[in-house]
């Protein structure tokens, strides 16, 4: 079940994130409980993520990416119209929409030019 503690209190969430990255503990602060989906994401990412380090994404070879995209053809085919709708809704917000598989491999990417460029500068792109 998702939290109903909205709007998100950004300053408290950032404090909880810092505490989690330093101590691997989730504490409540000022009776604020972070969204369980966010907490699950923190736990899932913790073993492979250094929050103070520069991300170093792995880029797949063309042959490997083609095989992964082929295995996810149905997902990609279904997702693209939704991604296009989302992009139309948020157009002009300097954002990008990313479709990734369960391993984090980016299968599709679209959005405003500046949003896509920011991802590219961070080393993120399809594959």
Tell me: do 72 and 107 sit in the same domain: yes
Residue 34 forms part of a structural domain: yes
Note the pLDDT of residue 1: 47
Residue 3 forms part of a structural domain: no
Residue 55 forms part of a structural domain: no
Q: How would you write the pLDDT of the chain (127 residues) with one tens digit per residue?
A: 455 556 777 888 888 888 888 888 877 767 777 788 888 888 888 887 777 777 778 889 999 999 999 999 999 999 999 999 999 999 999 999 999 998 889 999 999 999 999 999 888 999 9
Note the pLDDT of residue 36: 83
- What is residue 106's three-state secondary structure? strand
Tell me: do 44 and 67 sit in the same domain: no
Tell me: do 79 and 36 sit in the same domain: no
Tell me: do 113 and 82 sit in the same domain: yes
Residue 57 forms part of a structural domain: no
Number of folded domains that form the chain: 2
Enclosing domain of residue 27: 10-48
> Long-range contacts: 95-101, Cβ < 8 Å, 24+?
98/124, 99/75, 101/68, 101/72, 101/75
Residue 127 forms part of a structural domain: no
For the whole model, what pTM was predicted?
Answer: 0.65
Tell me: do 74 and 101 sit in the same domain: yes
Residue 90 forms part of a structural domain: yes
Tell me: do 29 and 72 sit in the same domain: no
Tell me: do 43 and 66 sit in the same domain: no
- What is residue 59's three-state secondary structure? coil
């Amino acid at each position: 079940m998702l939290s109903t503690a909205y709007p998100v209190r950004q300053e408290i969430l950032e404090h909880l994130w810092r505490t989690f990255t330093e101590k691997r503990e989730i504490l409540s602060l000022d009776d604020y409980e972070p969204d369980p989906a966010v907490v699950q994401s923190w736990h899932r990412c913790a073993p492979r993520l250094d929050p103070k380090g520069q991300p170093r994404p792995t880029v797949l070879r063309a042959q490997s990416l083609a095989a992964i995209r082929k295995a996810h053809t149905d997902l990609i085919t279904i997702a693209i119209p939704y991604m296009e709708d989302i992009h139309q809704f948020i157009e002009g917000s300097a954002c990008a929409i990313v479709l990734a598989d369960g391993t984090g491999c980016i299968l599709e990417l679209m959005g405003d030019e500046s949003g896509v460029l920011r991802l590219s500068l961070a080393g993120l792109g399809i594959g």
